[in-house]
Structure 1
Amino acid sequence: MTSTRVPKTFLVRTEIDIILADLAEGDSVPSERELATRFGVARETVRQALRELLVEGRIRRQGRGTVVSRPKLTQPLSLRSYTEGAISFGRTPGRILVAWEDVEADAETAADLDVPLQTTVMHLERVLLADGDRVGLESTYLPLHRFSALRGTYDPTTSLYRAIRATGVELAAARERIETALATPREAALLECSTALPMLLLHRRSVDAAGAPIERVRSLYRGDRIAFEAKLGPENH
C-alpha cells in the first residue's frame, strides 16, 4: 500500500483554520513566531500557510500585523450593475476614474461593438471600490454614436448602467466569460496589490432587445476580495 505524506504546510493551515473559526472580523491573528512555537514548525512553514490564507482573502495585513478579513464581496453573474450587486451584499460601492477618452477600435472591440475597424469609440476605465477598498479594475468600450451624450451628463463615479438606462437603452442580454489571470504591474499598482495575486478576469458583451451592441467590458477583480455566483435552472434538451 502506498502512503501519501501530508505536507506540514497543510497541517499548519488546518490548525490556523481552527483558530480563525473562533475569531471575528478585525481580530488579530497570532504572529508567525507564536504560531511556529505553538505548532513546533519552522516559521517559513507558517509563513506559507499564511500566504495561502491571504490569497484566499481569509486574512489581511493591517499595519505590522495580520487580522481576520471580512467575507469576500459576492457578485451575481447577471445583468445587474456592480453597484446593485455591492449594495445587495451590504457594501458601499464606489469608483475612481482612471481614464475617459475616445480611442480607435481594435479588431476585437470593433467586432464586439459591430463597428468598422478604427472607428472612434468611447473608453472608460475605473477602479472599483467596496467600502473604500480597491477590488477591481473595469475597462468599458461604448459605441460613440449611441452614447456620446454621456459626456455632458454622466458622473463616472456612479453606475454606468443606470446612466445608460436613463438614455432609454435597456440591457437585454449579455455574453460573459470568466478566466483566471495575473495583473500587469500597472494593474497591480492601481489595485494596490502584488502581481502574484490571482485575479478573476471577466469579458462581457452586452446588447439591447434588438440585439444591437451596448458595451464591451474587461473587468479584472482581486481574487482575495471578490467571488461570483450564478443562479442556475433546468435546461430544455
Structure 2
Amino acid sequence: MGTTQLEAVQEPKYWHLKTVLNDALDSEFEVGEILPNERDLAARFGVARATLRQALEQLELEGRLQRRRGVGTTVAPPRIGVSVGPSANVWPGAVRDAWSTVGCVEAAAPAPIAALLGTGREEAVHTVRRERVVQGQPVATELLYVPTASVPGLSALLTPAEHGPAVLRELHALDLEGEDRAVELGSARAEDARQLDRLPGAPVLVVTTRYYAQGGVAAASVATYRADTCRLTFGDSGALEVLHDQPDTRRAS
C-alpha cells in the first residue's frame, strides 16, 4: 500500500490514524511481526510522530500491538480468555486454581490495602505473591494480603518456601462468607511489568477482591492482568468468544 495522507476528519486525527493502522495490521502484517520504526510510519501516513504515538498507544490498549523489551512494537496474537474465577465463592489456592505461589513476606501493608482490610497502617500482614502463566506466557501477577489475625494458627517456624502455601492452607480453614470484586484499567508498575515481561506503564487490568469471613474482611488481593493479551471471563459457563468482525454476534464457547 502506498503512502496515505490523512484528510481533515471530524474525529481526532490520531483516532482516524488508528483505524487506518488497524486495517494495515490486518492486510499487511503477521502476528509477531515487528512494525517499522516511528519515523518511517509517520512519514508513510503523513502525520506527526506525536499523533502516531497516540494511535499506537490506543492499538496497544486494544490488544492489537505489544511493546516488547529489546524487540520493539509487534503485532499481538489474539487475546487469551482468562477466567478470573468461578461464580461460587472460593478461597485463593483452591483445587484447580491456575495460580502459582512465588513468594511471601510479612510486613505492613500499603495504606490503600490497609484501608481495604480495615487494619492499622503499622499492622503486619502476610503478602503472598502469585503468578499466572497461560500457553507458556505470563498473563497476570497477584498480591494477596492476609492479616495475621486471619491466620492465627500459622507457625512462626516456616521456611520462605513454606510461608505462602501455609498462609493459603490456613485461609481454607475459615468459612468464606462472600467476596466482592472490582475491575479497572491501569498502568503496569515497574515490578509488575518485570513479572509480566512488559514495559513499565503498559496497559493492565487490575482486579481487586475482598474476601469475607468471621464477620469481616479476612483477605484482599490485587491481581494485575496484561491488557494486551487478556480477555477476563467470569462465572462457571466457560469463556465467551467475541467475534470482532461481527460485533452483534456472540456465542458461548
Same fold per TM (> 0.5)? yes
Residue of structure 2 aligned with 1:66, choices 69, 74, 79: 74
Indicate the residue corresponding to 2:188 in structure 1: 183
Residue of structure 2 aligned with 1:130, choices 134, 142, 165: 134
Aligned to 2:59, the other structure's residue is in SS state: helix
Residue 75 of structure 1 pairs with residue 83 of structure 2: yes
Aligned residue pairs total: 216
Indicate the residue corresponding to 1:56 in structure 2: 62
Shift of 1:28: 3.2
After TM superposition, the structure 1 stretch with the greater mean CA deviation from structure 2, 63-72 or 113-122, is 113-122
Percent sequence identity is 21
Structure 1 residues without counterparts, runs of 5 or longer: 88-92, 232-237
Structure 2 residues without counterparts, runs of 5 or longer: 1-7, 236-253
Indicate the residue corresponding to 1:90 in structure 2: none
Q: In structure 2, do the counterparts of structure 1 residues 155 and 26 end up closer, same or farther at CA, with 3 Å as the change threshold?
A: farther
Aligned to 2:66, the other structure's residue is in SS state: strand
AA matched with 2:65 = I
Return the TM-score normalized by structure 1. Answer: 0.63
Q: In structure 2, do the counterparts of structure 1 residues 21 and 102 end up closer, same or farther at CA, with 3 Å as the change threshold?
A: same
CA offsets 1:185-227 (integer angstroms, 9 cap, x no match) = 344334333333233333321023x535431222233332334
Shift of 1:184: 3.4
Q: In structure 2, do the counterparts of structure 1 residues 55 and 6 end up closer, same or farther at CA, with 3 Å as the change threshold?
A: same
Q: Is 1:138–1:220's contact at 8 Å kept on the other side of the alignment?
A: yes
CA offsets 1:163-192 (integer angstroms, 9 cap, x no match) = 467x44343311223333333334433433
Please give the residue correspondences for 1:30-179 in structure 2 after superposition, counting only pairs within 5 Å.
31=36, 40-42=45-47, 44=49, 48-61=54-67, 63=71, 66-76=74-84, 78=87, 79=89, 93=98, 95=100, 97=102, 99-104=103-108, 113=117, 118-147=122-151, 148=154, 151=158, 163=169, 167-179=172-184
Q: Is 2:185–2:203's contact at 8 Å kept on the other side of the alignment?
A: yes
Task: Give, in whole Å, the separation in 1 of the partners of 2:134 and 2:224.
Answer: 14
Q: Is 1:113–1:214's contact at 8 Å kept on the other side of the alignment?
A: yes
Task: Give, in whole Å, the separation in 1 of the partners of 2:30 and 2:91.
Answer: 27
AA matched with 1:66 = T
Q: In structure 2, do the counterparts of structure 1 residues 211 and 29 end up closer, same or farther at CA, with 3 Å as the change threshold?
A: same
Q: Is 1:181–1:199's contact at 8 Å kept on the other side of the alignment?
A: yes
How much is the aligned-residue C-alpha RMSD, in angstroms?
A: 4.4
Q: In structure 2, do the counterparts of structure 1 residues 96 and 51 end up closer, same or farther at CA, with 3 Å as the change threshold?
A: farther
Task: Give, in whole Å, the separation in 2 of the partners of 1:24 and 1:102.
Answer: 48
Return the TM-score normalized by structure 2. Answer: 0.60
Indicate the residue corresponding to 1:226 in structure 2: 230
